Amino acid sequence: MSGQHSKMEEKMRVTDGARFEIASMKETFIKEESSFQRRFKDLKREFEWEILNNLKDDSHYKTDKKFDNFDTATLLKRQLQSIIINNKEKIRMIDSYQRNMKVLD
């Protein structure tokens, strides 16, 4: 019996050691994760600031003087008219397709 008892004690020591190891690894992981999260947030913030500063500094985001008085209303009206005409043509084509389908049925 004492042989089995010593084997059980040994298994318990091994199990306790494994539990301690797991707990310490988990604690290390949590510390490293929080450190990583902080570092990631800092890097992300730096990156976003660099992008914002670059956007402000880029000259192609500034308006040109020659386009300040450009009349967009007429351009938009023409585009709207072409879309309406195109849609009317599509409606006529669909109507003819449906008539042809009725004839075939």
pLDDT given at position 72 = 82
Here the tokens at position 28 are 């290390």
Whether 8 and 55 share a structural domain: yes
- Please, what is the end-to-end C-alpha distance for the chain in angstroms? 93
Whether 13 and 56 share a structural domain: yes
CA–CA separation, 36 and 30 (whole Å): 10
CA–CA separation, 64 and 54 (whole Å): 19
Whether 34 and 8 share a structural domain: yes
Per the confidence metrics, is the pTM higher than 0.85? no
pLDDT given at position 1 = 56
Q: Over the stretch 82-103, which tens digit does the pLDDT of each residue have?
A: 999 989 999 999 999 999 988 8
Which range marks the domain in which residue 72 is found? 64-105
Residues (pLDDT < 50) of the chain are none
pLDDT given at position 96 = 92
CA–CA separation, 100 and 105 (whole Å): 9
CA–CA separation, 25 and 18 (whole Å): 10
The number of folded domains in the chain is: 2
